[in-house]
Chain A
Amino acid sequence: MFDIIIIGAGAIGSFLARTLSQYESNVLVLEKENDVGNVTSMANSAIVHSGYDPVPGTKKARFNVEGNRMFPEICEELDVSFRQIGSLTVAIEEKQLSVLKELAERGKKNGVPTKMLTAEEVLAMEPNITKDVKGALLCPTAGIVNPFTLTAHAMENAIDNGVKLHLGEAVKAIKKINGGFQVDTDVATYEAKVVINAAGLYSEEIAKMVEPISWKINPRKGEYYVLDHFRPGFVNHVLFPLPSEKGKGILVTSTTSDNYLVGPSSEFVDEKDDFSTDPLTLKDVRAQASLMVPNIPFPEQIRVFSGLRATPSTHDFIIEPAKKNPNFINVAGIESPGLVSSPAIAKYVVEELVSAVFPLKKKANWNPSVRKYIKPSEMKDEEREAFVKAHPEYGEMVCNCEQVSVGEIKDVLSRSLPCLTIKAVKKRTRAGFGKCQGGFCQPKVLMLLAEHYGISPLEILYDKEGSNILLKESK
């Protein structure tokens, strides 16, 4: 019997695993996808929000602000790109200035430092913003993060500290048994004293396996444009319009890899696996973003994508034990600001909710760090020369656009966290994230995966089951 089973290996599941790995406990993570962070944690704005915006007193406000404070140290420990570039919430009409003042007030209540900027100050910081700007609210603690390695490294760290991860296993049923639960997946049956539901979009379905619930998770789609890294400094902060009931609005930001992100839209959809993009929605995203930043070079577009927010019917995060089962803990409805909140939520769940039902004792030898990921393209010339001399595989380039070498691919393939698919390699290393979108590197990555796992190239998947790239050998 496991002490704790975590269902779902998104940002929440991964940080729960990492946090629990600090304690003497036998933890299993079950994930239906064949990689961690493969659904909502992968397709979002990758913003470490400051926390000025959630309604004071809500869980969103609490965990956002707590999480934001945890990020610098966590990203340092987990070797994740994080830049605290600050955000600007931009007023483009006079009447919006009063709203900014309200937001500043809200920030103050949430304990978030903000500063009102005049139009001149905004334009000095962001020359590409509309000349119609009337002012902005600066939140210096906001930042951007690499969401892919954030989740992957949190889970890797958990595994290194003893957590077990089973990928590609979907939970089908949960039964109460003596002293805990029996969890049936499509592959095997497990038992655990405590179960934590971090199943994202499907947390409603998982929660209902244990007892009736009063809330729902409604998938809300956000569509984005990704632009190539055409020019550093096109925008220097996370730029938000004023928030509305639909969310934080269409933002324009750089990413930690110096791309630019424009989006998201916000629309409820019927299906929890509808990740399609729609040209009319994207056209609207473009039009709205252009009100704030008029000259976004959309010909630099290298991809469009959509993500689904796990929007709760309660309008706030659901972080509580099931009504009749204190050892079944729901962590559900973690929509924005979920990514930034995830370490703080994990801490709270473990220290307050798990500890109430399971005795937690800190390990003496917990290691907070993952193996450093080495990237020669970010080194100075002399350093790179010495490093590649000593490690020749880092001189053999795989991805031209993002400068990823065989050394980096073999690094991620040799870690404790499984890296099974072309997409998993892409998320860890950025091979295939550039403007040719894997046109040059995908065959090389595919062959390296086949070689590493000792299987036929025909078996290598792009992403989910069935997503094989190659059909058969040619005549």
Chain B
Amino acid sequence: MVIEKDLVIIGGGSAGLAAANAAYDSGVKSILIVEKGPFLGGILNQCIHNGFGLHEFKEELTGTEFFTRLTVESEKRGIEYRLNSFVTKIGEDKSVYYTNKEEGYVRVKAKAIIMSAGCYERNAGAIGIPGDRPAGVITAGQAQLYMNEYGYLVGKKVFILGSGDIGLIMARRMSLEGAKVLGVAEIMPYSNGLNRNIVQCLEDYGIPLYLHHTVSHVWGKSHLEKIEISEVNDALQPIKGTEQVFECDTLLLSIGLIPYNNLLNQLGLPTSRSRGAWVNEHMETKMDGVFSCGNVLHVHDLADNVVAEAKVAGKAAALYLQNKLPRHEELILVEPGDGVGYTVPCEIDLENAEEKIPVKFRVRKPTKECYITYTFNGEVIKKIYKQTIIPSEMEIDPIPKDLFKGEKSGKLVVSLTPKEVK
């Protein structure tokens, strides 16, 4: 079956929904959202905890309430979607191929595409945890899925590796379900979760956080029996003599999220240091009319920030479809400098850019009393003082267009610089 749409959105989570609504409001009426899961809302279906919506809706919502606000808006607009529909590939001609039970295998000839397929969890295989590979070593998000969507608890004596937010939230969730959470080990000397989660999910439940520790061995012939944690040195290698053993039936892994950017990778599109696609200020990838936003582009701290970014992508797709988003030869490259992990965007087309260009990035490690410094073609054009800055929070800085003084090409470097000592 072949159908035609102006805009196909891959993934109907918070990014896809917000992008669809924004594109519609900017004049695109022929839209199709292709969602692999049984519901719109994506991963937020399993986020029954609160802490969502403070920026976007100015009130505190649960994850499910948060995406419901977005689906209500997309329903109002009559935006078409398919559920349980899996995109298998994107053609060079921007055909999107998906498959489902009802329609079979469908080719959608799209004029524009927004990729908003989310991310996946780093897992035991990726880090090669030393020791056995028994059942009971499971990613935190999967345990959350089993708990909140399927209604099953995976274990009763739990240790958690990594202080990512999902792990912290699962520490609380499993405690509430009667499991004993023995501790959380974080390889870095600082937590990778939001502060509010450290307080509300660990401290309130008396769960110890072992900073600068990792799991140095796992035992279990069929199911997990015990683990060993060790303090690590500056090279993040376990230090002999610091071992502690915990008997447990579950090791939850909350060790990071990675953009699930397969489809764009298969097209051979360039990626950035975030492992998502290389995009410009309009979230457009290096392929004309193909945009990317949300966690498939870079992993966000808050769903609210996903929505803000997706709106940019949705509006941009509308501009593209209206032939109002031409490509220009002259570009400003945006590069992460000292202390900065990656940036979004990777390049700025100044002629297309709005008055303020949001530059997003994460720092590599917690830093106190420092500056975020923007250097354009060797000259510092902006400097912001920060009392503290931490990797678990995404930085978003709107850069006024006039700071570039009309210069449309060159290199913008975002770096962290220490406070000068007088």
Binding site for B on A (CB under 8 A): 225-226, 273, 275-279, 282, 301-305, 376-377, 381, 384-385, 387-389, 392-397, 400-401, 403, 405-406, 435-440, 442-443, 447, 457-458, 461-475
Does B105 make an interface contact (CB < 8 A)?
yes
* Contact call A471/B155, Cβ cutoff below 8 A: yes
Some 9 contacts from A to B, beta carbons below 8 A apart, are A301-B128, A376-B105, A381-B105, A385-B105, A395-B100, A436-B120, A443-B145, A471-B152, A472-B153
* Contact call B141/A439, Cβ cutoff below 8 A: yes
Docked complex: B123-145 residues within 8 A CB-CB of A: 123-126, 128, 130-135, 138-139, 141-142, 145
The answer, among B141, B149, B222, for a CB contact under 8 Å with A467, is: B222
A469 contacts which chain B residues (CB < 8 A)?
A: 135, 138, 146, 154
A304, closest chain B residue (CB): B128
A381 contacts which chain B residues (CB < 8 A)?
A: 97, 105, 107
* Contact call B221/A464, Cβ cutoff below 8 A: yes
The answer, among A385, A392, A472, for a CB contact under 8 Å with B102, is: A392
* Contact call B153/A439, Cβ cutoff below 8 A: no
Scan B1-42; emit 1 where CB is below 8 A from any A CB, else 0: 100000000000000000000000000000000001000000
Query: Given A276-B217, A406-B101, A439-B120, 8 more contacts at CB 8 Å?
Result: A275-B132, A277-B131, A278-B130, A396-B101, A457-B150, A461-B135, A473-B151, A475-B177
A473 contacts which chain B residues (CB < 8 A)?
A: 151-153
A471 contacts which chain B residues (CB < 8 A)?
A: 152-156, 249
* Contact call B150/A279, Cβ cutoff below 8 A: no
The answer, among A304, A393, A443, A474, for a CB contact under 8 Å with B125, is: A304
The answer, among B107, B133, B146, B155, for a CB contact under 8 Å with A275, is: B133
* Contact call A396/B100, Cβ cutoff below 8 A: yes
B156 contacts which chain A residues (CB < 8 A)?
A: 471
Give chain B nearest CB distance to A271 CB in angstroms.
Answer: 10
How far is it, in angstroms, between the C-alpha of A466 and the C-alpha of B134 when the chains are bound? 10
Scan B254-273; emit 1 where CB is below 8 A from any A CB, else 0: 00000010100000000000
The answer, among B106, B126, B130, B147, for a CB contact under 8 Å with A277, is: B130
From A278, A395, A462, A470, name the one whose CB has the most chain B CB atoms within 10 angstroms.
A395
Docked complex: B173-222 residues within 8 A CB-CB of A: 177-178, 217, 221-222
B86 contacts which chain A residues (CB < 8 A)?
A: 397, 400, 403
Give chain B nearest CB distance to A270 CB in angstroms.
Answer: 15
* Contact call A389/B104, Cβ cutoff below 8 A: yes
Does B99 make an interface contact (CB < 8 A)?
yes
Give chain B nearest CB distance to A376 CB in angstroms.
Answer: 7
How far is it, in angstroms, between the C-alpha of A435 and the C-alpha of B223 when the chains are bound? 22
* Contact call B154/A475, Cβ cutoff below 8 A: no
* Contact call B120/A276, Cβ cutoff below 8 A: no
* Contact call B99/A470, Cβ cutoff below 8 A: no
* Contact call B125/A303, Cβ cutoff below 8 A: yes
- The total number of A-B Cβ pairs within 8 Å is 144
Q: Take A277-B131, A400-B36, A473-B152 as given contacts and tell me if A302 and B126 are in contact as well, using a CB distance cutoff of 8 Å.
A: yes
A303 contacts which chain B residues (CB < 8 A)?
A: 125-126, 128
The answer, among B101, B126, B133, for a CB contact under 8 Å with A301, is: B126
* Contact call B99/A395, Cβ cutoff below 8 A: yes
Give chain B nearest CB distance to A113 CB in angstroms.
Answer: 37
The answer, among A225, A385, A466, for a CB contact under 8 Å with B222, is: A466
Give chain A nearest CB distance to B80 CB in angstroms.
Answer: 18
Does B375 make an interface contact (CB < 8 A)?
no
* Contact call A302/B125, Cβ cutoff below 8 A: yes
A462, closest chain B residue (CB): B135
Scan B288-325; emit 1 where CB is below 8 A from any A CB, else 0: 00000000000000000000000000000000000000
Total B residues in contact with A, Cβ cutoff 8 Å: 52
* Contact call B223/A466, Cβ cutoff below 8 A: yes
B174, closest chain A residue (CB): A474
A394 contacts which chain B residues (CB < 8 A)?
A: 99
Does B73 make an interface contact (CB < 8 A)?
no
Q: Take A388-B104, A392-B101, A457-B150 as given contacts and tell me if A301 and B125 are in contact as well, using a CB distance cutoff of 8 Å.
A: yes
Give chain A nearest CB distance to B157 CB in angstroms.
Answer: 10
* Contact call A385/B100, Cβ cutoff below 8 A: no
* Contact call B128/A393, Cβ cutoff below 8 A: no
B128, closest chain A residue (CB): A304
Does B121 make an interface contact (CB < 8 A)?
yes
Does B84 make an interface contact (CB < 8 A)?
yes
Give chain A nearest CB distance to B170 CB in angstroms.
Answer: 12
A393 contacts which chain B residues (CB < 8 A)?
A: 101
Q: Take A301-B125, A377-B88 as given contacts and tell me if A467 and B135 are in contact as well, using a CB distance cutoff of 8 Å.
A: yes
How far is it, in angstroms, between the C-alpha of A304 and the C-alpha of B130 when the chains are bound? 9
Docked complex: B214-242 residues within 8 A CB-CB of A: 217, 221-223
Give chain A nearest CB distance to B48 CB in angstroms.
Answer: 11
The answer, among B36, B107, B135, B142, for a CB contact under 8 Å with A397, is: B36
The answer, among A279, A302, A388, A435, for a CB contact under 8 Å with B99, is: A388
* Contact call A396/B125, Cβ cutoff below 8 A: no
Does B103 make an interface contact (CB < 8 A)?
yes
Docked complex: B70-128 residues within 8 A CB-CB of A: 84, 86, 88, 97, 99-107, 120-121, 123-126, 128
* Contact call B142/A439, Cβ cutoff below 8 A: yes
A226 contacts which chain B residues (CB < 8 A)?
A: 125
How far is it, in angstroms, between the C-alpha of A241 and the C-alpha of B37 when the chains are bound? 46
* Contact call A395/B123, Cβ cutoff below 8 A: no
From A302, A376, A394, A471, name the one whose CB has the most chain B CB atoms within 10 angstroms.
A471
Q: Take A470-B154, A471-B156 as given contacts and tell me if A437 and B124 are in contact as well, using a CB distance cutoff of 8 Å.
A: yes
Give chain B nearest CB distance to A106 CB in angstroms.
Answer: 36
How far is it, in angstroms, between the C-alpha of A443 and the C-alpha of B45 when the chains are bound? 15
B128 contacts which chain A residues (CB < 8 A)?
A: 225, 277, 279, 282, 301, 303-304
Which 6 pairs show the lowest CB-CB distances between chains A and B?
A303-B125, A397-B86, A467-B135, A464-B222, A304-B128, A462-B135
How far is it, in angstroms, between the C-alpha of A282 and the C-alpha of B150 when the chains are bound? 37
Give chain A nearest CB distance to B113 CB in angstroms.
Answer: 18
From A278, A385, A442, name the one whose CB has the most chain B CB atoms within 10 angstroms.
A385
Q: Take A388-B104, A439-B123, A467-B223 as given contacts and tell me if A276 and B130 are in contact as well, using a CB distance cutoff of 8 Å.
A: yes
Give chain B nearest CB distance to A190 CB in angstroms.
Answer: 26
How far is it, in angstroms, between the C-alpha of A63 and the C-alpha of B62 when the chains are bound? 64
Give chain A nearest CB distance to B7 CB in angstroms.
Answer: 22
How far is it, in angstroms, between the C-alpha of A443 and the C-alpha of B141 when the chains are bound? 12
* Contact call B131/A470, Cβ cutoff below 8 A: no
Give chain B nearest CB distance to A390 CB in angstroms.
Answer: 8
B36 contacts which chain A residues (CB < 8 A)?
A: 397, 400
A422, closest chain B residue (CB): B135
Q: Take A388-B99, A474-B152 as given contacts and tell me if A468 and B125 are in contact as well, using a CB distance cutoff of 8 Å.
A: no
Q: Take A277-B128, A473-B151 as given contacts and tell me if A395 and B142 are in contact as well, using a CB distance cutoff of 8 Å.
A: no
B173, closest chain A residue (CB): A474
A395 contacts which chain B residues (CB < 8 A)?
A: 99-105
* Contact call B88/A443, Cβ cutoff below 8 A: no
B99 contacts which chain A residues (CB < 8 A)?
A: 376, 384, 388, 394-395, 397, 405
A457 contacts which chain B residues (CB < 8 A)?
A: 150, 152
Give chain B nearest CB distance to A432 CB in angstroms.
Answer: 10
